[in-house]
Amino acid sequence: MNTIKTTLLLGGLTLLLVYGGAALGGEQGMIFAFIFAVAMNFGAYFFSDKIVLKMYGAREVSEREYPRLVQTVREIVRRANLPMPKVYLVPSSQPNAFATGRNPEHAAIAVTEGILSLLDEEEMAGVLAHELAHVNNRDILIGTVAATIAGAVSMLANMAQWALIFGGGRSNERSGHPAVMIVMMIVAPIAAMLIQMAISRTREYQADATAAALIGSGLPLARALSKLQKGAERIPMDAEPATAHMFIVNPLSGSGMMSLFSTHPPIEDRIARLTGR
């Protein structure tokens, strides 16, 4: 069900981009939008992991430095039949973790300094299993594609604004109808953001379920999520909103955030699914 929902949401996001391009510039705009999306996805696919790791000052760690951490990752990848990813440490007191990389062969798992002192061994295994589930389920690629297309839609909306300013509100085949362009400017970026966030929430539920299957129980991850949420609310993190969806709990966490505008499902719902309550 989560896979079907993700496919439908990605399809809707792509259609929004292509038809937004058509509204902006007719057939030529639609072709431009499609080519632009392909080019952006290509760049994001190959370089997003390096960019994100550098953004958060992550450094690769060895088994000699953090034996339990690396050994736990090694055990989970053995169970999941995955290649061993690189393990990184992020210099942040907020307890959190994320996975990145374009595929299982080029994956990386990053944990913050804060998470190491907060979770016990079972809870850490649950978190690492969740991140490796993202790798196994190709969620990193899905999230990157969704974020890229949503960004392209926003860029098209900005182009529509400038086209209206310099086009003088005239309607023609190349620039599109002014009324349609105004709708594109207002509605399309909001719709793209909502779809992107819905995709992110769907993949979080799937990663939780996969993690529970990998370690044989959802209880350790449920306990970890409760601790991490409280830690994220208590300890701020200098995180970029564009990468917030990558973390196991929202690093910009706010319990009052509307669910439609959140990159993560409510922690209470995730815990309920993991514990069967």
Dist. CA 21–CA 199, nearest whole Å: 22
Q: Does the global pTM surpass 0.85?
A: no
At 230, list the tokens. 């409280």
Q: Please count the structural domains in the chain.
A: 1
Dist. CA 257–CA 260, nearest whole Å: 9
Catalytic residue among 131, 173, 240, 268: 131
- Please give the pLDDT value at position 174: 46
Asked about 113 being catalytic, the answer comes back as no
| Nearest by Cα to 71 from 90, 53, 84, 58 | 84
**pLDDT tens-digit readout, 68-85:** 999 999 999 999 999 999
3-state secondary structure 208-275: HHHHHHHHCCCHHHHHHHHHHHHHHHHCCCCCCHHHHHHECCCCCCCCCCCHHHCCCCCHHHHHHHHH
**pLDDT tens-digit readout, 14-32:** 666 666 666 655 566 666 6
**pLDDT tens-digit readout, 180-191:** 666 666 777 777
Residue 123 CB coordination number (10 Å): 21
- Give the domain extent around 11: 2-275
**pLDDT tens-digit readout, 100-141:** 987 889 899 999 999 999 999 999 999 999 999 999 988 877
